[in-house]
Amino acid sequence: MATLKCDVVSAKGPIYSGTIRMLIATGSEGELGILPGHTPLITLLKPGPLRIRIDDNKENDEYVYIKGGVLEVQPHRVTILADSAERASTLDEVRLEEERRKTQELINSQKTDFDMTAAYVSLAETVAQLQTIRKYRNRT
């Protein structure tokens, strides 16, 4: 089976490095599926889950939350330079759900001294992290 080399790096250091069968990421125009032999590409990534298919067994898939970044595809390599990244297995669902609830309450109250743009960005990031956790948990 055809494979390609994959590196996921954040400002804090490497998150993943290895040989993969497929990568699924959320690009600026929607979800991208990267397979061996993909056309060379550079695109911006939106906050969301990054699914790394290592082999044919879905239970071995790696899930990483990225806050955004850049994806580069070359003939035998895919590189993700993430603004920040964290493995789904280390995300705290209870804390994130509470953060989402509090942010949503602030938005609904529409206080005049509150930065709505920052609240919506925070809410979007929290929801993307929760989606990453749920995809990781339901990978079987």
User: Does 134 score more than 60 pLDDT?
Assistant: yes
Q: Report the half-sphere exposure of 50 (CA within 13 A, side-chain side).
A: 32
Token pair of 77, please? 């390599």
Beta-carbon neighbour count of residue 53 at 10 Å?
19
Residue 139 or 84, more confident:
84
Report the C-alpha gap between 131 and 100 in whole angstroms.
12
- Per-residue pLDDT tens for 30-87? 899 999 999 999 999 999 899 999 988 888 889 999 988 999 999 899 999 998 998 8
Query: Is residue 71 within 8 Å of residue 43, measured between CB atoms?
Result: yes
Average confidence (pLDDT) over 112-135? 77
Q: Residue 137 — very low, low, confident or very high, per pLDDT cuts 50/70/90? A: confident
Give the model's pLDDT for residue 111.
65
Give the model's pLDDT for residue 59.
85
Query: Is residue 64 within 8 Å of residue 8, measured between CB atoms?
Result: yes
